[in-house]
């Protein structure tokens, strides 16, 4: 996976001026070593409390290991959001109306280019706040078939096939083509059957049939993960089939089949 490469770059790049390979340099700072070895070395040095501090959107700095603070929350459905001036593209539902996957790929590429520029400037100014990181909670590939939901403008509409094709285009455009490093992290959301009503999202059940689950609500996730190689996925906040996500056998089995 390429996510560890991105995360280590967040830690190591600011240290490049002094983290040269010597006998005293810890393995996680040695860029000549395999990424898995560096990640394992870094994780092994964390205390339990430090590990817990990294398991939320506001990840605390760990000075003794030269790990800077990091905020995982960023948005980029149709442009880098809430981080100053950026190119604003049409809402996702408008982009979907073009039926043009190549265009969506180009849009996402522009978003990640601007995101990189904003991130680099933020690091120079010691800004590790929300909306300046490289982990984007986009695209929204939920299926939109009822305008009462309230977030339909974030999606690519009602069709699972079109949503899958545009989702893959967005993910690959945002994450880039480098074989070793991610330009940014794309996070398809919300897995799965997250289609409203928004105000009740934390407490209501979704009586979806197995046919609809597999034929309507999960194909776009399969595509963005297996074809687009999305490096992150956001879960839903609802109760699909009267169960929590982690308790839901129907929602656990598709990811296993997808290979993640």
For the cut 70, the answer to whether the pLDDT of residue 130 exceeds it is: yes
Fold of 92-258: TIM Barrel (3.20.20)
Please report which confidence band the pLDDT of residue 257 belongs to, taking 50, 70 and 90 as the band edges.
low
Query: Per-residue pLDDT tens for 143-154?
Result: 998 888 889 999
- Distance spanning both ends of the chain, measured CA to CA: 11
Please report which confidence band the pLDDT of residue 258 belongs to, taking 50, 70 and 90 as the band edges.
low
Give the helix, strand, coil percentages of the chain, each rounded to 5: 45, 5, 50
| Domains of the chain by residue range | 3-68, 92-258
Query: Per-residue pLDDT tens for 82-91?
Result: 999 999 999 9
Q: CA nearest 133: which of 232, 15, 45?
A: 232
Query: Per-residue pLDDT tens for 1-17?
Result: 565 556 565 555 554 44
Mean pLDDT over each residue of the chain, to the nearest integer: 87
Q: Which 3 state secondary structure label does DSSP give 186?
A: strand
Q: What is the pTM of this model?
A: 0.86
């Amino acid at each position: 996976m390429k996510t560890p490469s991105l995360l280590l770059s967040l830690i190591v790049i600011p240290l490049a001026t002094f983290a040269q390979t010597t006998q005293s340099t810890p393995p996680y700072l040695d860029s000549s070593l395999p990424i898995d070895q560096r990640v394992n070395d870094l994780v092994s040095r964390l205390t339990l409390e430090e590990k817990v501090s990294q398991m939320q959107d506001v990840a605390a700095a760990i000075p003794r290991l030269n790990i800077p603070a990091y905020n995982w929350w960023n948005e980029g459905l149709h442009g880098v959001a809430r981080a100053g001036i950026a190119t604003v593209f049409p809402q996702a539902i408008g982009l979907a109306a073009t039926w043009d996957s190549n265009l969506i790929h180009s849009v996402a590429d522009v978003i990640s280019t601007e995101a990189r520029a904003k991130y680099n400037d933020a690091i120079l100014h010691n800004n590790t706040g929300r909306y300046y990181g490289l982990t984007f909670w986009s695209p929204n590939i939920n299926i939109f078939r009822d305008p009462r939901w309230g977030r339909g403008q974030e999606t690519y509409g009602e069709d699972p096939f079109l949503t899958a094709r545009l989702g893959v285009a967005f993910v690959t455009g945002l994450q880039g083509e480098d074989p070793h490093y991610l330009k940014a992290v794309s996070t398809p959301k919300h897995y799965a059957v997250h289609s409203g009503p928004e105000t009740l999202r934390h407490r209501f059940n979704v009586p979806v049939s197995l046919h609809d689950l597999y034929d309507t609500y999960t194909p776009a996730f399969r595509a963005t993960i297996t074809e687009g190689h999305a490096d992150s996925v956001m879960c839903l906040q609802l109760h699909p089939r009267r169960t929590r996500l982690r308790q839901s056998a129907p929602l656990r089995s598709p990811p296993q089949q997808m290979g993640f």
